[in-house]
Amino acid sequence: MDQNSPEVMTAIQAAIKASVLCEKIRMDLSAGESRLKSDGSPVTIADYGAQAIICKLIREMFPNATIVAEEDSRELRRPDRSRILGQVAGYVNAFMPVSSLEEVCSWIDFGSNSTTDRFWALDPIDGTKGFLRGDQYAIALALIEKGVVKLGILACPHLYADVHRPLGEKGCLFFALKGKGSFQMDLGGTNKRPIFVSKVASPSEAVITESVESDHADHLAHRRLAQRLNISKPSLRMDSQAKYGILARGEVTLYLRVPFSAESEYKENIWDHAAGSIIAEEAGGRVTDVIGRPLDFSSGIKMEKNDGILVSNGILHEAVLKALEM
């Protein structure tokens, strides 16, 4: 697989289309139109719309592809959701002709929740809370073969493209191919360039990125770790796998996701880390869990064999793992 492979071209085009849809909805959305899934996490018409577009484009090109994706159409099909389903169909129709509401549901349901030897992992909107807040979010798509991530794409429609101009133009797409490096381009598909992690070699010079949501990781543990390593720069809190992207382009040095104490039974979802991890690694970074184990993408939709996440520029990885043991 290279940059011109059908998989890569299709996935990038799908992520770009989904980004445009999400930004359109974000502009139109009033807070009242978000709603809560039964597990309490917010989901919007954008999650469904992005999943419909991406699944449809992948299956059109690869009819037998397995796509493991976060959403399904169950709730959307409820009679009291018909207005929302109509909205999803309306937005999707701007990108591809939709003949019926049922058709949109069937595209969303190309997504399944069981993995195979070779499958796509999709989070149509990673960081939905960031999306709703007007902060960062990402469309995350990865191709996984025998537990190894071969291709990762993160479209970040609301992320500044130029590190030196944080108030400048927004919208960028990161992608990486196994063994072939990591790249950033703009959402028009132009200005493609290779990206690399920072060369910071002294922990005291490091910059940490972590979740905005304080219940997604133990931020107090992050503070203690920063003190142990004499890190004085403030950490950068950001939603979604955009954190992997900014680490891969050298803007920050460490991404910490330390789980709450041993009682925390939370296991990470593969679609929350597959695309980001290959983008950080191919840019020269290292990705493990907080006790140094490689991420395991071969145990189904949950990363059962991992606890938390540590991403670094590689150079600082062992020092951070050691400090995490203390």
Out of 128, 209, 253, 288, which one is annotated catalytic? Answer: 128
* Smallest distance, Mg ion to C-beta of residue 168, A: 26
Has 47 been annotated as catalytic?
A: yes
- Return d(Cα 301, Cα 211) in angstroms, integer: 21
Residue 185 phi/psi, 5° resolution? Answer: -145, 170
Any contact of residue 215 with ligand AMP (CB under 6 A)? Answer: yes
Which partner from the list ligand AMP, Mg ion, none does 170 bind, CB cut-off 5 to 8 Å by kind? none
Partners of 237 in the beta sheet? 210
Residue 192 token pair? 């493609």
Tell which one of 71, 272, 282, 289 touches Mg ion (CB under 5 A).
272
Burial class (CB in 10 A: 0-12, 13-18, 19+), 96: middle
Cα dihedral 94→242→106→35 (10° resolution)? -90
Which partner from the list ligand AMP, Mg ion, none does 211 bind, CB cut-off 5 to 8 Å by kind? ligand AMP
Any contact of residue 123 with Mg ion (CB under 5 A)? Answer: yes
Residue 297 phi/psi, 5° resolution? Answer: -105, 20
Among 231, 232, 235, CA closest to 219: 235
- Return d(Cα 214, Cα 96) in angstroms, integer: 38
Has 128 been annotated as catalytic?
A: yes
Q: Per CB under 5 A, which region of 24-32, 75-83, 151-159, 267-275 contacts Mg ion?
A: 267-275
Any contact of residue 235 with ligand AMP (CB under 6 A)? Answer: no
Any contact of residue 272 with ligand AMP (CB under 6 A)? Answer: yes
Any contact of residue 39 with ligand AMP (CB under 6 A)? Answer: no
Residue placing its CB nearer to ligand AMP in the complex, 37 or 74: 37
Residues taking part in catalysis: 47, 128
